[in-house]
Amino acid sequence: MKKIRDIMSTDCVTVTLQDNVFEIALKMKQNDIGFIPVVDGDKLIGVVTDRDLVVRGYAEKHSGSTAVKEVMSEGLTTVSPDTSVDEAAKMMASHKIRRLPVVENGKLIGVVAIADLAVREIFVNEAGEALSDISENVDHGAAVH
């Protein structure tokens, strides 16, 4: 049975509490990503998504110099590198999330994305089901006229 360590990405772009909203946005743009773990040394303390920047940052009229702490998500769902791919897919579906930080002894060692499950054709049904569940629950907002 495949484990998360077999498919996770280990080249994680991270930020610290010393960074600000502008620096997060710049790293997202430079690396073409929408999810960045927040670390203290190598300990995972939170994450920031592109949605966090919009909802907790710009929509709250925070400037680019706003601290990471103001926009980051805490109380994260994480997995260990020994978690099965099947279990991770089920967690993603039940929590309606697209990415899971991989943590060992409190330290961030990687990230697994729903695409990692589908692209590698591992448990494609679970990955597809998770993505479908997540997509159906996205608030698409009002139509633009």
**Residue 70: burial class (beta carbons within 10 Å; 0-12, 13-18, 19+):** middle
Q: How confident is the prediction for the chain on average, in pLDDT?
A: 84
Lowest average pLDDT, out of 11-20, 38-47, 106-115, 135-144, goes to: 135-144
Cα gap 33→142, rounded to integer Å: 26
Percent of the chain scored above 70 by pLDDT?
Answer: 81
Unique residue bearing structure tokens 């280990």? 10
Q: Does residue 143 register a pLDDT over 50?
A: no
pLDDT band at 28 (very low <50, low <70, confident <90, very high): very high
Residue type, 61: K
Residue 59: the pLDDT is 73
- Helix, strand or coil, per DSSP, at residue 113: strand
The structure's pTM equals 0.78
Percent of the chain scored above 90 by pLDDT?
Answer: 59
Segment 117-143 mean pLDDT: 54
Domain 4-136 matching CATH 3.10.580.10: the answer reads yes
Unique residue bearing structure tokens 């110099």? 65
pLDDT band at 54 (very low <50, low <70, confident <90, very high): confident
Segment 101-120 mean pLDDT: 87
Residue 144: the pLDDT is 39
